[in-house]
């Protein structure tokens, strides 16, 4: 019975670590995309506001 508990515990730990790493990488990628979109939006907004002055 202890072998089963050790296998389940080990699998849970590995799954938790793997999920954490994948989540972190996806979060970093999302932040880069958001920064790029914000930068592009600000550039276009600056161009559009200069045309009205």
3-state secondary structure of 53: coil
Could you tell me the two tokens for 14? 């590995």
What's residue 49's pLDDT?
75
Tell me what the mean pLDDT of segment 24-47 comes to: 94
What's residue 48's pLDDT?
73
In the chain, the DSSP E strands lie at none
What CA–CA distance (Å, rounded) separates 43 from 37?
A: 10
pTM here is: 0.68
């Amino acid at each position: 019975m202890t072998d089963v508990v050790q296998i389940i515990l080990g699998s849970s730990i590995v799954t938790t670590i793997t999920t954490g790493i994948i989540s972190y990488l996806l979060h970093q990628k999302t932040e880069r995309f958001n920064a790029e979109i914000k930068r592009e939006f600000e550039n276009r907004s600056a161009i559009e506001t200069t045309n009205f002055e």
